[in-house]
């Protein structure tokens, strides 16, 4: 039997969260894993563990886009070479039906007589965000048939964005296919842990005006959007900026507003001597495969596209994303930028050039928020607030309007003579929360409490009092594996002493030592999370430590908080 692939800590946590959810009687969960964090490895390991524990279990893996069927099957076989796997896809000329693990497109099997697929105990839906609201019916029809043979069939969805391209959350509404998000590992965590490449943004002189573009169903009308974007003056100016700002970048991916627009951008790049190609839904499969292979291999510098490379496209070398495609879809925004977060030798970051003003529209890609109406109509609306940002006059990095030191080059803006002090941190941000220069908030007191959760070890809730506000974080001292090791590292680095063995010991010691004197915070969805610590060591030294547990190069100015 082939050896199990070694999982990263968060991947193992994702699987444990799934099994705990089902063991407690849960139904149909979602797993939210950022692009590039190994979703296929988690899926393959889930299927393998279940089948080895229950040899008669049969799994159906569905995708909404048929092009992903072969890609997902190959990903499973890379992680589990001996997997009992088959493919059912008309587009691939394969019609397997009885395989223990069956990878299929929903279009190919939705109308099948369920008996031809055999009993299915688990249905895995990959790239679940691609299910449009109108597509729920196909899945429900198939699941209803399958449940006639297996009434307690379970469904699990995997995605990097647990909300639809065309509406709200996937676990909202009376007709939702999924019940709860049971595990999340986002872009910010992946970057902090060293598994993803950070994104950095630069302001652009050229922007696409969408003020007169019609909207329908929560998105810009496609034809009107392309008409606004596909103007020669805009295209020429944008291409000149991409070439100037991307001179030290090797692999450029450009998102365009339509087929004609993508071709126009490609041609403008070629006119400037840049080797460029274009892929769209109209590109023949052979040509598309050849172009993408050349891009991945570094033989092609610029690749333009329209609506085809937002999901399932893997090019780790990609180090520049140009958005010439405005959107109102949170999921599409996150998916576009997720293409640039994979690690690659020599790649320190991925540069984002936003001609579409999507960054200003949605805020940081690692802290977007989609509010739903749990148990309601399923029309969960994306809440978007215009983000005010400014560009550094020297390096053009986008930062909050309330930030006075550029996070990239150190340029200083003059500060207001009489600043207003609030007990909340600023929420204006650039493409990632880490691009903000967070303000230090003085901590008046540090208090800890036991935090108990059914069927889970007790953890420690740490509360930082700063003015009228309290900021919280959880330290999982008694948890096994990755979570416990991370908590021990947190204690040794932040508190500066050996980690306690129990929560009870930790509660006493953290109250006695009071080592944390100030914190920085960052927006994480609708909550704030602690992102930096100013601590006093036993010898009296004050040092600054970031969320990555590294000592900061220089202290920042503490902002007084109203009390």
Distance, CA of 518 to CA of 511 (rounded, Å): 15
Lowest mean pLDDT among 31-45, 76-90, 523-537: 523-537
pLDDT for 384 beyond 60: no
Distance, CA of 217 to CA of 328 (rounded, Å): 10
pLDDT for 175 beyond 90: no
Same domain, 119 and 20: yes
Look at residue 271 in the predicted model and tell me its pLDDT.
97
Same domain, 250 and 359: yes
Q: Which domain holds residue 506?
A: 441-546
Query: Average pLDDT for residues 375-397, to the nearest whole number?
Result: 50
Residue 429 belongs to some domain of the structure:
no
Residue 377 belongs to some domain of the structure:
no
pLDDT digits (tens, 9 = 90+) for 411-450: 777 765 543 433 333 333 467 766 654 567 888 888 888 8
From the list 276, 278, 265, 267, the residue with the least C-alpha distance to 299 is 276
Number of Cβ atoms within 10 Å of the Cβ of 472: 14
Alpha carbon 5 to its chain centroid, in Å, reads 23
pLDDT for 12 beyond 50: yes
Same domain, 298 and 222: yes
Question: What's the angle, vertex CA 357, arms to CA 352 and CA 363, rounded to 5?
Answer: 80
Which sign, positive or negative, has the C-alpha torsion 370, 45, 116, 95?
Answer: positive
Number of domains in the chain: 3
Report which of residues 429 and 315 the model is more confident about. 315
Residue 93 belongs to some domain of the structure:
yes
Residue with tokens 């493409």: 431
Same domain, 165 and 216: no
Same domain, 321 and 209: yes
Residue 326 belongs to some domain of the structure:
yes
Residue 160 belongs to some domain of the structure:
yes
pLDDT digits (tens, 9 = 90+) for 189-239: 898 899 999 998 888 889 999 999 999 878 899 999 999 999 999 999 999
Residue with tokens 């959107």: 327
Query: Average pLDDT for residues 388-401, to the nearest whole number?
Result: 64
Same domain, 176 and 311: no
Same domain, 308 and 331: yes
Q: Two tokens at 299?
A: 């033989």
CATH number at residue 283: 3.40.50.300
Distance, CA of 437 to CA of 421 (rounded, Å): 16
pLDDT for 322 beyond 50: yes
Same domain, 168 and 35: yes
Q: Two tokens at 61?
A: 């893996």
Residue with tokens 């249905």: 123
Residue 427 belongs to some domain of the structure:
no
Residue 394 belongs to some domain of the structure:
yes
Lowest mean pLDDT among 75-89, 163-177, 366-380, 540-554: 366-380
Same domain, 159 and 24: yes
Look at residue 540 in the predicted model and tell me its pLDDT.
82
Strand 542-546 relative to strand 456-466, pairing: unpaired
pLDDT for 382 beyond 50: no
Q: Which of 106-120, 130-144, 243-257, 495-509 holds the top average pLDDT?
A: 243-257
Same domain, 159 and 37: yes
Domain final residue, candidates 131, 158, 186: 186
**What integer best gives the mean pLDDT of the chain?**
82
pLDDT band at 471 (very low <50, low <70, confident <90, very high): confident
pLDDT band at 118 (very low <50, low <70, confident <90, very high): confident
Q: Which of 48-57, 375-384, 408-417 holds the top average pLDDT?
A: 48-57
pLDDT for 390 beyond 80: no
Same domain, 160 and 200: no
Query: Average pLDDT for residues 465-477, to the nearest whole number?
Result: 82
Look at residue 1 in the predicted model and tell me its pLDDT.
52
pLDDT digits (tens, 9 = 90+) for 497-551: 899 999 999 998 887 878 899 888 876 655 677 888 999 887 888 898 987 776 6
Distance, CA of 492 to CA of 124 (rounded, Å): 40
SS3 33: strand
Report which of residues 425 and 272 the model is more confident about. 272
Contact status, residue 369 vs residue 383, Cβ threshold 8 Å: yes
Report which of residues 526 and 54 the model is more confident about. 54
What Å distances lie between residue 478 and 18, 448, 460, CA to CA? 20, 15, 9
Query: Average pLDDT for residues 329-335, to the nearest whole number?
Result: 87
Query: Average pLDDT for residues 294-303, to the nearest whole number?
Result: 95
Same domain, 204 and 164: no
SS3 465: strand
Look at residue 554 in the predicted model and tell me its pLDDT.
40
Residues 6+ apart with CB under 8 A from 240: 272
Residue 489 belongs to some domain of the structure:
yes
């Amino acid at each position: 039997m082939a050896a199990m692939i070694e999982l990263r800590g968060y991947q193992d946590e994702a699987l444990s969260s799934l099994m705990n959810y089902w063991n407690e009687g849960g139904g149909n969960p979602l797993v939210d894993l950022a692009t590039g964090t190994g979703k296929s490895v988690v899926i393959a390991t889930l299927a393998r563990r279940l089948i080895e524990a229950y040899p008669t279990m049969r799994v159906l893996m569905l995708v909404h886009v048929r092009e992903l069927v072969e890609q997902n099957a190959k990903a499973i076989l890379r992680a589990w070479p001996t997997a009992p796997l088959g493919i059912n896809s008309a587009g691939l000329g394969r019609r397997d039906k009885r395989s223990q693990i069956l990878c299929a497109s929903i279009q190919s099997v939705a109308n099948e007589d369920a008996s031809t697929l055999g009993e299915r105990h688990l249905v895995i839906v990959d790239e679940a965000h691609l299910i449009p609201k109108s597509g729920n019916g196909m899945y429900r029809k198939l699941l209803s048939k399958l449940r006639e043979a297996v009434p307690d069939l379970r469904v699990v969805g995997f995605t990097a964005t647990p909300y639809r391209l065309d509406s709200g959350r996937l676990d909202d509404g009376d007709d939702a296919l999924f019940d709860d998000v049971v595990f999340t590992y986002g872009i910010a965590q992946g970057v902090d842990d060293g598994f993803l490449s950070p994104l950095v943004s630069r302001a652009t002189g050229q922007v696409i005006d969408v003020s007169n573009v019609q909207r329908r169903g929560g998105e810009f009308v496609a034809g009107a959007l392309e008409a606004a974007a596909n103007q020669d003056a805009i295209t020429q100016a944008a291409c000149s900026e991409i070439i100037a700002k991307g001179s030290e970048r090797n692999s450029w991916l450009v998102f365009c507003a339509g087929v004609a627009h993508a071709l126009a951008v490609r041609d403008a790049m070629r006119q400037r001597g840049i080797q460029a190609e274009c892929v769209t839904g109209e590109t023949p499969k052979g040509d598309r495969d050849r172009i993408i292979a050349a891009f991945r291999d570094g033989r092609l510098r610029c690749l333009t596209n329209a609506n085809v490379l937002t999901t399932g496209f893997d090019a780790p070398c990609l180090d520049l994303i140009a958005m010439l495609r405005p959107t109102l879809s949170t999921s599409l925004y996150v998916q576009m930028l997720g293409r640039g977060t994979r690690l690659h030798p020599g790649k320190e970051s991925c540069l984002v050039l936003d001609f579409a003003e999507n960054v200003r529209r949605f805020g940081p890609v690692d802290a977007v928020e989609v509010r739903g109406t749990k148990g309601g109509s399923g029309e969960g609306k994306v809440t978007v607030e215009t983000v005010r940002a400014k560009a550094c006059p020297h390096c053009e990095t986008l930062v909050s309007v309330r930030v006075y030191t550029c996070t990239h080059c150190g340029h200083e803006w003059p500060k207001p003579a009489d600043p207003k002090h609030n007990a909340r941190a600023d929420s204006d941000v650039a493409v990632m929360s880490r691009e903000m220069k967070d303000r230090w908030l003085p901590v008046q007191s540090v208090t800890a409490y036991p935090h108990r959760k059914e069927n889970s070890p007790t953890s420690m809730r740490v509360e930082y009092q700063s003015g009228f506000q309290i900021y919280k974080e959880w330290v999982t001292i008694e948890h096994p594996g990755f979570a416990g090791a991370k908590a021990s590292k947190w204690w040794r680095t932040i508190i500066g002493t050996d980690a306690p063995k129990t929560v009870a010991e930790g509660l006493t010691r953290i109250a006695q030592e009071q080592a944390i004197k100030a914190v920085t915070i960052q927006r994480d969805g609708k909550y704030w999370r602690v992102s930096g610590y100013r601590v006093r060591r036993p010898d009296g030294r004050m040092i600054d430590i970031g969320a990555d547990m590294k000592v900061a190069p220089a202290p920042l100015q503490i902002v007084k908080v109203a009390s």
